[in-house]
């Protein structure tokens, strides 16, 4: 067989093998067996040593042409196989975007959460820090340090769930304030939002579980005027510039003097309506100057420092803000109700 035939045969065999190679791996094996160091073409080239010097250039050219032809076929087949594999992958991984699905409905913050966020924003803006504490609380923090000793009649208004004689579900977030006074030095400027518990029957305005936001400021020369200014700023920020506060004398064991704080009725802006029972005012907060007995019990010298405290029910201000008439809506988790606030 002459050289030309040999090379033509090799190319033809290679062409056939390439067409039969069904994937890139098989193709690569062919590349090695044809063009590799121990491949057939290299083998032919080695045979050049037996040729006479005159024959060699023509033979070399022949081999080079064969190499080029084989490389071209290889590249063509590689392109084909790659396209084929890509097409197969696309088909296997295809997603039918036209299929109908159950779209998950997007959740939204609870109205309580929205109002709490607004209140927190307001007080953080006034330089307050947000502090939280345990819902299962020692009697000492919930009552005794706040000037409500055992068997004191003030406990009746805050009857709660007892784990044992000394452990209760907290009735307000004031125990957080006691904890902060005991563990930090004055000045103190905090708000304490959180869940609280009382042995109350469920009705449109009561629930055994509800939320409070209480505030405490302790510093030198703090007065009732500071309380008035702070709560005024709070009322304006939450309900608008036309809302002011009205202080009425009241009683809390942990503040002296104590006050009930009314806001201008946010529905009628003071003209008188059903919500404010014709008075133009709605009762929203309790507050006062921290009782010196409480300061002393919590390790703060009442001859140097004074402070004010206040407490507000989150559900109450949420209901006012959105015109919700029954507190139970806020707890029942009925999606038809909650969806209105998304």
Chain positions contacting ligand PHE, by CB under 6 A: 172, 174, 212, 214, 252, 255, 286-288, 309-311
Six token digits for residue 42:
């290299």
Of all residues in the shown chain, the one whose CB is closest to ligand PHE is 311
- Looking at the Cβ atoms of 73 and 287, the one nearer to ligand PHE is 287
- Looking at the Cβ atoms of 264 and 291, the one nearer to ligand PHE is 291
Smallest distance, ligand PHE to C-beta of residue 311, A: 3
- Looking at the Cβ atoms of 308 and 329, the one nearer to ligand PHE is 308
Smallest distance, ligand PHE to C-beta of residue 103, A: 43
Smallest distance, ligand PHE to C-beta of residue 241, A: 26
- Looking at the Cβ atoms of 28 and 159, the one nearer to ligand PHE is 159
Smallest distance, ligand PHE to C-beta of residue 189, A: 14
Of the candidates 180, 149, 160, 333, the residue with the CA atom closest to the CA atom of residue 254: 149
User: 176 with 145: CB under 8 angstroms?
Assistant: no
Smallest distance, ligand PHE to C-beta of residue 334, A: 28
Smallest distance, ligand PHE to C-beta of residue 301, A: 20
Smallest distance, ligand PHE to C-beta of residue 332, A: 24
Q: Sheet harboring 209-219: ordered strands across?
A: 129-130, 188-197, 209-219, 306-313, 281-290, 255-264, 245-252
- Looking at the Cβ atoms of 112 and 255, the one nearer to ligand PHE is 255
Smallest distance, ligand PHE to C-beta of residue 123, A: 14
User: What is the distance between the alpha carbons of residues 58 and 140, in angstroms, rounded to a whole number?
Assistant: 108
- Looking at the Cβ atoms of 10 and 297, the one nearer to ligand PHE is 297
User: What is the distance between the alpha carbons of residues 227 and 82, in angstroms, rounded to a whole number?
Assistant: 77
- Looking at the Cβ atoms of 252 and 329, the one nearer to ligand PHE is 252
- Looking at the Cβ atoms of 30 and 222, the one nearer to ligand PHE is 222
């Amino acid at each position: 067989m002459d050289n030309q035939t040999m090379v033509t045969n090799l190319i033809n065999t290679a062409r056939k093998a390439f067409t039969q190679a069904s994937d890139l791996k098989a193709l690569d094996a062919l590349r090695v067996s044809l063009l590799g160091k121990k491949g057939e073409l290299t083998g032919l080239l080695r045979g050049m040593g037996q040729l006479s010097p005159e024959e060699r250039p023509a033979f070399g050219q022949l081999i080079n042409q064969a190499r080029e032809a084989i490389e071209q076929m290889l590249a063509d087949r590689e392109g084909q196989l790659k396209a084929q594999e890509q097409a197969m992958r696309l088909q296997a991984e295809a997603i039918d975007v036209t299929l109908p699905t159950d779209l998950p409905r997007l959740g939204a913050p609870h109205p309580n959460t929205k109002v709490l966020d607004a209140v927190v924003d307001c007080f953080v803006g006034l330089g307050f820090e947000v502090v939280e504490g345990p819902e299962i609380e020692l009697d000492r923090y919930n009552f005794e340090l706040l000037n409500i000793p055992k068997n004191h009649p003030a406990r009746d208004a805050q009857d709660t769930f007892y784990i044992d004689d000394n452990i209760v579900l907290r009735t307000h977030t004031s125990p957080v304030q006691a904890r902060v006074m005991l563990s930090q030095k004055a000045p103190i400027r905090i708000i304490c939002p959180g869940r609280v518990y009382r042995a109350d029957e469920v009705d449109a305005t009561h629930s055994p579980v509800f939320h409070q936001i209480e505030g405490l400021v302790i510093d030198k020369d703090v007065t009732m005027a500071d309380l008035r200014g702070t709560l005024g700023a709070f009322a304006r920020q939450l309900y608008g510039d036309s809302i002011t506060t009205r202080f009425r004398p009241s009683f809390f064991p942990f503040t002296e003097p104590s006050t009930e704080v009314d806001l201008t009725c946010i529905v009628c802006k003071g003209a008188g309506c059903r919500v404010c029972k014709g008075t133009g005012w709605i009762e929203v907060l309790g507050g006062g100057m921290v009782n010196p007995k409480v300061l002393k019990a919590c390790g703060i010298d009442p001859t140097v420092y004074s402070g004010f405290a206040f407490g507000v029910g989150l559900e109450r201000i949420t209901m006012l803000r959105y015109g919700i008439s029954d507190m139970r809506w806020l707890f029942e988790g009925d999606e038809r109700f909650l969806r209105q606030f998304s």
